Structure 1
Amino acid sequence: MTHTAQNGFILTRHWRDAANGTEIEFWLATDDGPKKIRLTAQTSVAFAEAKQRAAIEALIGGQPGFELRDLELKTFEQEPVVGIYASRYKQLTALERTLREHGIKMLEADIRPPERYLMERFITAAVQFEGGQTQGATVIHNCKLKPAPEYRPKLKMVSLDIETSAFEDLYSIALEGCGQRQVYMLGEAPAESSQQIDFDLEYCATPRQLIEKLNAWFVRHDPDVLVGWNVVQFDLRVLQKNADKYKLPLALGREGKTIEWREHPGQKGYLFAPVVGRIVLDGIDALKAASWTFPSFSLENVSQAMLGEGKDIGDVYDKMAEIERRFHEDKPALAHYNLKDCELVTRIFDKANLLAFMIERATVTGLQADHLGGSIAAFGHHYLPRMHREGYVAPSVGDVSGGASPGGFVMDSKPGLYDSVVVLDYKSLYPSIIRTFLVDPVGLIEGEVADDPASVVEGVNGTVFSRTRHCLPEITTQIWKQRDAAKRAKNEPLSQALKLLMNSFCGVLGATECRFFNPRLVSSVTLRGHQMMKQTRELVEAEGYDVIYGDTDSIFIWLKKEYGNAEALAIGEGLAVKINDWWRTMLKEKHGLECHLEIEFDTHYRKFFMPTIRGTETGSKKRYAGLAVNAKGEEEVIYRGLEVARSDWTPLAQQFQQGLFTRIFKDEPYQDFVREYAQKTLSGDYDELLVYRKRLRQRLDEYKVNVPPQVRAARLADEYNQAQHRPLRYQNGGWISYVMTTSGPEPTEVVRSHIDYEHYLTKQLQPIADSILLPMHDSFTSLTTAQASLF
């Protein structure tokens, strides 16, 4: 027996049906090494309307393992329910299908045993376990688990990368982590080499031995976390392909378990690779989950941007040729190259604090650490157990229908060039609306059946919410307070994870895939935001200032004359105090509500430019640029929505826009810059800036009508690749780089025609110039046509 309470962090979760009921397994990271918690004879539960009890019992027909119980719970339609308990989860899901065929709805049958077990105990990722029976040093049976929210594990991480032929034949495997730097290389060691080896390099006679060595490495060093770059879709997939080819297991899981491959149900060819007892994190997905953005998520691009170094060996075909050369002529050099990828990934994880973020994200959401996305699942993990304690069971997906709800309020803008614009921003606008106006699924149901008008809060479009019976406002308040504490403690990963979860709630309620989908709920948040932004504009203009734009939670205020930073800050903060006081007083006196709305000073733009919609005099939306002073006291131009901030415009256009804005914001002459930039474009001086890089979002053969330029370029590229006996790169999508020529778009792999400079002048430079210059009564044409040689 073990009685001492210990803390652990859930790495992976699994379930299976056994003879005596469902078994749940959790692999934990603890201070004493990995532990496996096995909970046996677990009962699964779902719900159905009590009036269907007799029909359900008839359909069960005396099958063993079922029990129906009357419960003090009801549906959102106020119908009493019975609990349907099954000794095995697959029995429950089979019954759900049978009942559905007979027109009987079973509720919450889709919640798997591990998730049900954790959420009903308010456990997310960190647990305290006590009691149970031990089996060896690792396995504990039937202990008691409860939350341990303060515990954070020290995880052992390894970065993995492989090198292959163009046809995915395995050449080498590199591993960096757990105190090891290891490369396994196919072939014989060279008689001599000029390479200095500062890592373990072991040669293997066959590809089969490479896989065997990898399996043994995982047993010997036992990492908790496996990371890489595109590690599931490439490295693990190719390793599995080679393991299958040589008829041996790819046993990377704890206890020698193999990968439990699954394909994404809505994305053919996209794979998940659950590994028993280990977290698998792809660097690209982890960065995106943590809200990092890059024009390209290639390892070369990201490492250059974040670390200031990379290891590019030319384009993909030059790289492949160099890998082949090193494999056949200089294996130690290939080993260096292979291991460098691992090291770059490890350093990116460290630089971005990604592992800490993923740990905090799991602790916050209740999702497994390598379950990316999952906003709907995270919402359910927090909401369902609280909803049960309010006496309700959840509806099914599709119970509520309706169209899209209004989005954030975007004001019409006033285009032009301004001095001294301050931006005020509502802090976490949608969560603060949920807290203040008590927006909630249960609250809506309770509000609609309430008899006393004083017991409800009026929403928008006729909705009413209970003042006392609700769940989401408390959940949001708890997360809000946790985030404030994390910010005070300077725990940025936790603060970011909490912010992302809290800000996802409104969107989840508007997602048709969510069981709580209800357009009335979402509108109660977004339309309230509309009202707030309009009211804020009135309050600002009553102070004598001019609102020139507003977007969802931010309002842009022209102070009507030029101010220094300190003066503008004082005005902005003074406005914020007045607006917050107004909301606090109005909500208390008129509605009896505690105000959680808070507007803050965000930015002072010394110069600010709002462009027109291209080809019109109407102000654009979500597109602007401004000159501000950053935290270091340096002037910085901020771009939002403009071409310089978008990856689908060429570097030629982006650099032109940056140069033009910089001159205008600093009151420098811009006319000669425009003329010279156009002239140098025509002269070929900027040819390296002409490349478009765009994504192919479908298979090439799926483009039938209105074939865009990137698809035409990709088809030319793969025709060339086929003629060169190379693997085809673009048939299943991906990214393509191309230039516009007099013969149309041509891929950078094979440019045969002359560059179409006229295209770049009229489609890249002129639209950018005119969006800036026309409000200033100037234009690209008037500046460039004076030089006849340009055209």
Structure 2
Amino acid sequence: MTSTVLNGFILTRHWRDAPAGTEIEYWLATDAGPIKVVLPSQTSVAFVATQHRSQVEAHLATMPGMEIRELALKTFHQEPVVGIYAKHFRQLGRLARALQAQSIPLLEADVRPHDRYLMERFITAGVLVEGGQSNGATIVDCRLKPAPEYRPALKVVSLDIETSQHEALYSIALDGLPDRVVFMLGEPPRESSEPDAPGEPMDFALIYCPTRKAIIEKLNDWFERNDPDVLIGWNVIQFDLRVLQKTANECGVPLLLGRERRPIEWRTHPGKQGYLFAPTPGRVIIDGIDALKAAVWSFPSFSLETVSQTLLGEGKAIGDDYDKMAEIERRYQEDKPALALYNIRDCELVLRIFDKAKLLQFVMERAQTTGLPADHFGGSIAAFSHHYLPRMHRLGYVAPSVGEIASKAYPGGYVMDSKPGFYDSVVVLDYKSLYPSIIRTFLVDPVGFVEGTHAADPATTVKGPQGTVFSREKHCLPEIVTTLWHARDEAKRVKNEPLSQALKLLMNSFAGVLGATDCRFFNPKLVSAITLRGHEMMKLTREFVEKRGYVAIYGDTDSIFIWLKRTHTNEEAHAIAATLARDINAWWTQTLREQHGLANFLEIEFDTHYKKFFMPTIRGSEVGSKKRYAGLGVDAKGKEEMVYRGLEMARSDWTPLARRFQEGLLSRIFHDEPYKEFVTDYADALLAGEMDELLVYRKRLRHRLDAYQVNVPPQVRAARVADDYNAQLGRPKQYQNGGWIRYVMTQSGPEPMENRQSRIDYEHYLAKQLQPIADALLQPMGESFMALTTAQQGLF
């Protein structure tokens, strides 16, 4: 056994109460391979107001292994606290429940040992391991320090399974490591056969297994032999791993995908029925859908086919869901090599999507940025706590409990009333990271609010909205934001896009966290101090712009849309916008210094020049809409781009017919091209049946089908027809628990694509899809859809 010094990156974390005390386990990826770090005999801590010490001591008399210590800490109510130190973490839970019955809060008792160990040492994901005793791949009783720059090369495997329509396992494919393989249920063919598709050689091992039990055993052996750090897939936890676990249970064999041949430690989501988490010792499991959503990618659908077509320009669909299942069944029965090829191609697509979108890098940078496990998506509250708690402790405070402040509504972002119509030369200025910059500039902070409220000298405070005051000297959040801000600037400088995105998302989450009732720091006054300051800033910015002779036609949270009042060349518009941004920033710097004695971290930037711009009215009124507009943007090099926000063109629940029509009509109007003939020809083509492929609605069923009783929208009616049809054919019902449905409107009502029987209701598409879009654009110009189409032919 030797002493060790090495860098590592935390893959998984775990704690357990052992006889000698709480034991913490971290699995690390290192340059020397995977390492398990074990920290035995860790003491857990929570806090209680000193005034309740006697009640706590009465409980501790029956709880050996716990003690009280004097501490120089206090609550947000300025009450001194004592520390409760426990040999076992679960003892704190039992004490918390006992004290709760007496209405005594045990503060921070819910912070898990492996998280507290890291946060109190300012460790997120990269660590420096010092000392301890190593025995093979295990290091015991060492010290961990931050190593924020360390990023190892990770071994990644992509996993995909194929099943029958009733989830009976047929095959498992594994790709991404040299040992590429498909484990297939059944006996090998008597004669060698190639997959059906020409030019598709079998560049992987196809191993036949006589039973499903044998497949699981082969899978366990593969993971032990190849030892990946990361397992990726598509819906890999909710489907693939769930089916594998179910299959293993039915076969009476363990599923051992963790390091040291350990099982998945399944957990259910407390708020989502049926949603599963799959913590796996030593390995990170990343679902491609979750990772894309966390990185704020957007697609009409997150199906593997849609995402791969969008990002890679290719896919491998073999029909709709039921055609696909029929083809999988045929290949399993008649051509297993072809099924194996289909299976492993899914793995390849997932690997290529991860590479194209830099998802693995994003996941690693997000873990390093937030302090959360790499496979923990969401978690803004936990990330805030990871950064905030240790800094708060060092300022002498302990955190309040969740729910200490009652829920109360607070103002959201500022949305300016719009001025609808068509415009030439509109420029958009945008405040860079508005809410983080407000936190930095005006020192908005939970501890700072407490300190400011109790400050004896007003000169040591900053006044905020609604009577809030913040300490100029004692705070945590402004420093956290500043550190992240500088890190993001550096990430952008070196073009580290995944890190820049992770830092941006974390910073921008802080205001929302302070307004989340599940956060221990929730306080409507705090979040209002941010949002209302944003309101004030946008109003002052509007005044500044209009004093310069321009018109603010719209504003939304951090952006202001400025009409330059006449047509300008692209160069002129860019120059005006740059001057406005420079002057606004200089005005903020002077105003904040002279009126508040504050440094300015507010920065407005030039975002876009719209050569042509359209702001619609609310449908059926003359009032300007909000969060809905379109524009013909032009960059500094003169490159044009059509931009749509909130219009039918940008919404997935409108038909392709509507989106294509709106795009074509707007483009013609913006480019001063004839548009009347386009409208009439489009309507003619619809009625002639030439656009039937564009008439499909795709909508989401957000609830179980049987939950729709009084209000039954078209998509629900279509789904019920579809599942009745599925039942008639002996197929599983597809929509009982929600999902996405594709349907068309017929003369008999909505009918699903699985079973369309009636003629298309073209009048519906004219009146409900084309006319609203057309009139919103034509009426400001004195035209109407009805006038144009009726003049052409009697459509109505």
3-state SS of paired residue (1:609): strand
The reply to whether residue 671 of structure 1 matches residue 670 of structure 2 is: no
1:393 partner letter: V
Q: CA deviation at 1:633?
A: 4.6
- Residue 347 of structure 1 is matched in structure 2 by 352
3-state SS of paired residue (1:468): coil
- Residue 157 of structure 1 is matched in structure 2 by 156
Describe how 1:22-171 pairs up with structure 2 within 5 A. 22-135=22-135, 137-171=136-170
Residues 405-433 of structure 1, C-alpha deviation per residue, up to 9 Å, x if partnerless? 11111111111111111100000000000
Task: Give the alignment partner of residue 256 of structure 1, picking from 255, 261, 269.
Answer: 261
Contact 1:52–1:104 (CA under 8 A) maintained in structure 2 = yes
Residues 656-682 of structure 1, C-alpha deviation per residue, up to 9 Å, x if partnerless? 000001100000011111111111111
Distance 1:63 1:627 in 2: 70
Distance 2:91 2:769 in 1: 62
Describe how 1:347-386 pairs up with structure 2 within 5 A. 347-386=352-391
Contact 2:254–2:263 (CA under 8 A) maintained in structure 1 = yes
The reply to whether residue 405 of structure 1 matches residue 387 of structure 2 is: no
The reply to whether residue 457 of structure 1 matches residue 462 of structure 2 is: yes
Distance 1:448 1:62 in 2: 40
3-state SS of paired residue (1:786): helix
3-state SS of paired residue (1:648): coil
**Aligned residue-pair number:** 790
- Residue 624 of structure 1 is matched in structure 2 by 629
Task: Give the alignment partner of residue 236 of structure 1, picking from 228, 241, 259.
Answer: 241
Distance 1:114 1:172 in 2: 37
- Residue 783 of structure 2 is matched in structure 1 by 778
Residues 720-763 of structure 1, C-alpha deviation per residue, up to 9 Å, x if partnerless? 11111111111111111111111211111001111111111111
Q: CA deviation at 1:632?
A: 7.1
- Structure 1 range deviating more: 57-66 or 292-301: 57-66
Contact 2:194–2:338 (CA under 8 A) maintained in structure 1 = no
- Residue 659 of structure 1 is matched in structure 2 by 664
Q: CA deviation at 1:785?
A: 1.5
Contact 1:611–1:775 (CA under 8 A) maintained in structure 2 = no
Distance 1:759 1:416 in 2: 27
Contact 1:691–1:738 (CA under 8 A) maintained in structure 2 = yes
- Residue 321 of structure 2 is matched in structure 1 by 316
3-state SS of paired residue (1:613): coil
Describe how 1:531-680 pairs up with structure 2 within 5 A. 531-630=536-635, 633-680=638-685
The reply to whether residue 213 of structure 1 matches residue 218 of structure 2 is: yes
- Structure 1 range deviating more: 341-350 or 682-691: 682-691
Residues 429-474 of structure 1, C-alpha deviation per residue, up to 9 Å, x if partnerless? 0000000000000000000000101000000010000000100000
Q: CA deviation at 1:630?
A: 4.8
Q: CA deviation at 1:2?
A: 3.3
1:29 partner letter: A
Q: CA deviation at 1:179?
A: 2.2
Distance 2:49 2:499 in 1: 41
Q: CA deviation at 1:3?
A: 3.2
- Residue 762 of structure 1 is matched in structure 2 by 767
2:72 partner letter: E
3-state SS of paired residue (1:667): coil
Contact 2:571–2:636 (CA under 8 A) maintained in structure 1 = no
Describe how 1:267-286 pairs up with structure 2 within 5 A. 267-286=272-291
- Structure 1 range deviating more: 563-572 or 511-520: 563-572
- Structure 2 stretches lacking a partner, 5+ long: 196-200
- Structure 1 stretches lacking a partner, 5+ long: none
3-state SS of paired residue (2:465): coil
Distance 1:697 1:16 in 2: 38
Distance 1:491 1:199 in 2: 34
Distance 1:403 1:760 in 2: 44
1:483 partner letter: R
- Structure 1 range deviating more: 692-701 or 11-20: 692-701
Q: CA deviation at 1:640?
A: 0.6
Q: CA deviation at 1:154?
A: 0.7
Distance 2:725 2:167 in 1: 20
- Residue 697 of structure 2 is matched in structure 1 by 692
Distance 1:429 1:334 in 2: 52
3-state SS of paired residue (1:647): coil
- Residue 173 of structure 1 is matched in structure 2 by 172
Q: CA deviation at 1:636?
A: 1.3
Contact 2:544–2:584 (CA under 8 A) maintained in structure 1 = yes
- Residue 523 of structure 1 is matched in structure 2 by 528
- Structure 1 range deviating more: 632-641 or 439-448: 632-641
Contact 1:183–1:202 (CA under 8 A) maintained in structure 2 = yes
Task: Give the alignment partner of residue 394 of structure 2, picking from 379, 389, 397.
Answer: 389
Distance 2:584 2:635 in 1: 26
2:273 partner letter: K
1:33 partner letter: G
Q: CA deviation at 1:180?
A: 2.9
Distance 1:735 1:124 in 2: 38
Q: How large is the Cα RMSD of the aligned pairs?
A: 1.0
Distance 1:431 1:380 in 2: 16
Task: Give the alignment partner of residue 755 of structure 2, picking from 737, 747, 750.
Answer: 750
The reply to whether residue 495 of structure 1 matches residue 494 of structure 2 is: no
Cα distance change of structure 1 residues 630 and 230 upon mapping to structure 2, 3 Å threshold: farther
Q: CA deviation at 1:787?
A: 3.1
Cα distance change of structure 1 residues 112 and 29 upon mapping to structure 2, 3 Å threshold: same
Distance 2:786 2:74 in 1: 70
Cα distance change of structure 1 residues 561 and 394 upon mapping to structure 2, 3 Å threshold: same
- Residue 198 of structure 2 is matched in structure 1 by none
Residues 27-55 of structure 1, C-alpha deviation per residue, up to 9 Å, x if partnerless? 00000000000000011111111000001
Distance 1:496 1:233 in 2: 27
1:54 partner letter: S
Distance 2:625 2:374 in 1: 40
Distance 1:519 1:167 in 2: 49
Distance 1:630 1:266 in 2: 45
Contact 2:93–2:109 (CA under 8 A) maintained in structure 1 = yes
1:143 partner letter: C
1:782 partner letter: A
3-state SS of paired residue (2:730): coil
Describe how 1:395-474 pairs up with structure 2 within 5 A. 395-474=400-479
Q: CA deviation at 1:279?
A: 0.4
Distance 1:234 1:154 in 2: 28
Task: Give the alignment partner of residue 746 of structure 2, picking from 717, 741, 760.
Answer: 741
Contact 1:171–1:185 (CA under 8 A) maintained in structure 2 = yes
Distance 1:776 1:208 in 2: 71
Task: Give the alignment partner of residue 204 of structure 1, picking from 209, 225, 236.
Answer: 209
Distance 1:456 1:607 in 2: 46
% identical equivalent positions: 69
3-state SS of paired residue (1:202): strand
Distance 1:704 1:389 in 2: 56
3-state SS of paired residue (2:725): helix
Residues 565-586 of structure 1, C-alpha deviation per residue, up to 9 Å, x if partnerless? 2111111000011100100001
- Residue 723 of structure 1 is matched in structure 2 by 728
Q: CA deviation at 1:60?
A: 2.1
Distance 1:4 1:108 in 2: 33
Contact 1:424–1:601 (CA under 8 A) maintained in structure 2 = yes
- Structure 1 range deviating more: 112-121 or 702-711: 702-711
1:588 partner letter: R
- TM score, norm. by length of structure 2: 0.98
Residues 525-575 of structure 1, C-alpha deviation per residue, up to 9 Å, x if partnerless? 000000000000111111111111111100111111112221111110000
Distance 2:62 2:316 in 1: 67
Residues 306-365 of structure 1, C-alpha deviation per residue, up to 9 Å, x if partnerless? 000001111100000000111111111111100000000000000000000000000000
Distance 2:179 2:560 in 1: 53
Contact 2:60–2:67 (CA under 8 A) maintained in structure 1 = no
